[in-house]
A and B are shown apart, each in its own frame.
Chain A
Amino acid sequence: MNRNNKLTDTELVAKVQGSVGDAGDVGDYEAFEELVKRYERRIYGHSLRLLGNKEDAEDVLQETFLNVFRAIKNFRGDSSFSTWIYRIATNNALMKLRKSGRVEVEFDDEFPNIDPAKGGATVSYIEGPGDALIEKEVLAELDKAVKKLPEKYRTIFLLRDVEEFSTTETAEILDITESAVKSRLHRARLSLREGLSKFKEGAVGN
């Protein structure tokens, strides 16, 4: 009977570390497998969103869990397991991205010159229990806009708004300040909102 699925991440980590219970090698590995089961889907999705390539995402997935297995003995629990594994996965993905030599486009300016009073504030048309097909199209458009975000904004947006980590956790994962998280997230959201707004205007114009 698998009792591991009832344990918290912290309890599983302790079992893998061999610091609690009477588990030998086999038991330790089963606890590790439970952690794999809990996080594999999320880590794969996160890597794919960051890298945009399935083979690369699969590599990152494998590297990440191997890194976790090798380093878990030294994991002291200063942060949550979830934050720790995302930190490893994000670093692996970013390293792969940089090695690939893909040229990252930067935003032209630090802050966009947007004036709400001058229009463009129209995305709310999709609110409510609207057409599922339209919603799917809008989601696809958002996905496209996310791919166009410069890496340092995309990473933060994905951690905060897609994976739903808090500002503090995102800052921990990326080893940057909370204020950097907040300002880059805001910049990313404004850019995505603009993208959706243009899509909507195009849809209305057709």
Chain B
Amino acid sequence: MMSKSEMSKSEINHCNCKKVLELLSAYIDSELSNDEKRMLDKHILQCQPCKVYLESLNYTVRLSVRLEKQESYQMPKDVRVKLRTFLKEKCQCDKDEER
């Protein structure tokens, strides 16, 4: 059974973990105040689960940018050609109407 002091330490840590979780995106994006960053750095040093959680969230963010270059989202050549034909036709109509 936990002693009173151990229980309160555990509660504080748990509370901090929740707080830390709320701040992780801002931490990754360097949007925290100096005080918040200090608090989070200190917690991460002492709390292995939060450290691993931060690493995994950071990894998710870094991986996400690669979706931009993913093959399935690349524009096919025919779409490019059709866009040019569409725009030439429509934009020319607009200019003719202006005249």
Contacts and interface: CB of A to CB of B under 8 A. Distances in A.
A48 B75 CA distance: 9
Interface in B45-80: 47, 49-50, 52-53, 55-57, 59-61, 63-68, 70, 72-75, 79-80
B59 A123 contact: yes
B17 A161 contact: no
Contacts of B56: 121-124, 193, 196-197
A124 B52 contact: yes
A21 interface: no
Nearest to B78: A58
What bracket does the count of chain B residues touching chain A fall in?
35 or more
Interface stretch (B1-9, B34-42, B81-89): B81-89
Contact of A138 (B55, B63, B79): B63
B52 to A, nearest CB: 4
A115 B18 contact: yes
A62 B87 contact: yes
Contact of B67 (A111, A116, A142): A142
A185 B83 CA distance: 32
B11 interface: no
B83 A61 contact: yes
B93 to A, nearest CB: 10
Contact of B68 (A45, A111, A167): A45
Nearest to A68: B87
B64 A36 contact: no
A182 B25 contact: yes
Q: How large is the interface on A (under 10, 10 to 19, 20 to 34, 35 or more residues)?
A: 35 or more
B81 to A, nearest CB: 11
Given A58-B79, A122-B56, A116 B64 contact: no
A40 B80 contact: yes
Contacts of B55: 121, 123-124, 127
A121 B59 CA distance: 11
Contacts of A139: 63, 66-67, 70
Contacts of B57: 189-190, 193
A96 to B, nearest CB: 16
A41 B53 contact: no
A202 B30 CA distance: 33
A162 B70 CA distance: 11
Nearest to B79: A58
Given A116-B53, A193-B60, 6 more contacts: A36-B84, A44-B79, A45-B68, A119-B49, A142-B63, A197-B56
Sorted nearest first, the 4 A-B pairs with minimum C-beta distance are A123-B56, A186-B25, A116-B53, A121-B53
